[in-house]
């Protein structure tokens, strides 16, 4: 809710799914100018029982995820622009139009479904599928002649590892995964995977985040090393890799 009681438009452009969830659950209340206080993000994340180290990472991120001209204001006021969230310095492999358009784009979201099939886990997103998503978006940028960067790859690992560590559930072998439909609800409407009463079942922190990043990164490297198979699996056509 905004301060004047009007329902906030959660279709604002560039909405991060985690922040969108906090808004939908009324844990974060944007001002009329759509700016959000970092303190509200911190308090909202506390409702998800996330430990301090990972919470700190997720809180700091929005300060630097706006346009370059917003950075000083963000640091001074400890707020950030909600519509400009994810409008960062450059595109990166985790960046999809489902987060950057003003409304949820089901067609763009289909990359997750396609990646789940390529990873042989249809209907479920885990480490392997997220690696395919990164590679898919990386190759798509290349095919469109757009720049990519190593820093962008790191951002994608942080984003997806945070998503999996925060909302993932463990299977019988301890591997984290998120159902496609739960992920769709998170992106499209900010609904928590397990509903408003959802709480994580295991301790979260930078150590587990780093381990998850390592798993996704290692798998993504393996996919890239077999990029011809990846192109076929992800149905990407006419990509010039310069080799």
Of the residues 44, 70, 89, which one is the last residue of a structural domain? 89
Element (H, E) at 178: strand 176-179
State whether 96 and 176 are in the same domain: yes
Enter the pTM of the model. 0.59
Residues 16 and 65 in one domain: yes
| pLDDT band at 126; cut points 50, 70, 90 | very high
Mean pLDDT computed over 55-79 = 59
Asked whether the beta carbons of 95 and 137 are under 8 A apart, the reply is: yes
DSSP string, 194-241: T-TT---SS---HHHHHHHHHHHHHHHHHHHHTHHHHHHHTT--S---
**Terminal alpha carbon distance of the chain:** 52
Average pLDDT over residues 38-57: 64
Average pLDDT score, the chain: 68
One domain for residues 81 and 97: no
Task: Identify the band that residue 118 occupies on the pLDDT scale cut at 50, 70 and 90.
Answer: confident
| 4, part of any domain | no
One domain for residues 42 and 160: no
Does residue 5 form part of some domain? no
Whether residues 85 and 118 share a domain: the answer is no
Domain presence at residue 129? yes
pLDDT of residue 5: 39
The verdict on 60 and 101 lying in the same domain is no
Q: Is residue 186 part of a domain?
A: yes
Instruction: For residue 198, give Cα distances in angstroms to 39, 42, 169, 182, 193.
Output: 22, 18, 11, 12, 7
Tally of domains within the chain = 2
**Distance (Å, whole) CA 8 – CA 30:** 7
For residue 114, tell me if it sits in a domain.
yes
Quote the domain boundaries for residue 152: 90-243
* Bridge partner residues of 176 (DSSP): 170
Give the pair of three-digit tokens for residue 109. Answer: 């979201």
Buried b (16+ CB within 10 A) or exposed e, 152-181: bbebbbbbbbbbbbbbbbeeeeebbbbbbe
**pLDDT average, residue stretch 22-49:** 75
Please indicate, yes or no, if residue 72 is contained in any of the structural domains: yes
Among residues 42, 74, 89, the one where a domain terminates is 89
* Domain shared by 85 and 201, yes or no: no
Do 201 and 223 share a structural domain? yes
Model pLDDT, residue 17:
59
Which domain-ending residue is among 89, 113, 129? Answer: 89
Residue 125 has pLDDT above 90, yes or no: yes
Mean pLDDT in residue range 149-159: 67
pLDDT for res 56: 52
**Is 70 domain-assigned?**
yes
């Amino acid at each position: 809710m905004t301060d004047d009681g009007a329902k906030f438009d959660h279709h604002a452009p560039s909405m991060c799914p985690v922040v969108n969830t906090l808004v939908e659950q009324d844990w974060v209340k944007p001002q009329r100018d759509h700016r959000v206080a970092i303190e509200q993000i911190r308090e909202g994340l506390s409702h998800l029982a996330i430990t301090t180290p990972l919470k700190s990472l997720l809180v700091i991120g929005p300060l630097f995820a706006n346009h370059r001209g917003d950075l000083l204001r963000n640091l001074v006021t400890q707020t950030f622009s909600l519509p400009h969230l994810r409008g960062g310095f450059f595109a990166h492999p985790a960046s999809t139009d489902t987060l950057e358009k003003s409304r949820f784009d089901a067609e763009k979201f289909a990359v997750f479904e396609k990646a789940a099939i390529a990873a042989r886990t249809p209907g479920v997103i885990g480490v392997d599928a997220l690696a395919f998503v990164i590679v898919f978006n990386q190759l798509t940028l290349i095919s469109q002649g757009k720049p990519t960067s190593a820093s962008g790859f790191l951002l994608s690992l942080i984003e997806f590892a945070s998503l999996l560590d925060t909302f993932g559930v463990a299977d019988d072998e301890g591997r984290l995964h998120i159902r496609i439909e739960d992920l769709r609800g998170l992106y499209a409407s900010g609904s928590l995977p397990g509903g408003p009463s959802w709480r994580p079942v295991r301790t979260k922190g930078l150590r587990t985040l780093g381990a998850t990043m390592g798993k996704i990164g290692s798998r993504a490297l393996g996919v890239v090393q077999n990029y011809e198979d990846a192109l076929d699996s992800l149905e990407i056509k006419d990509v010039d890799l310069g080799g």
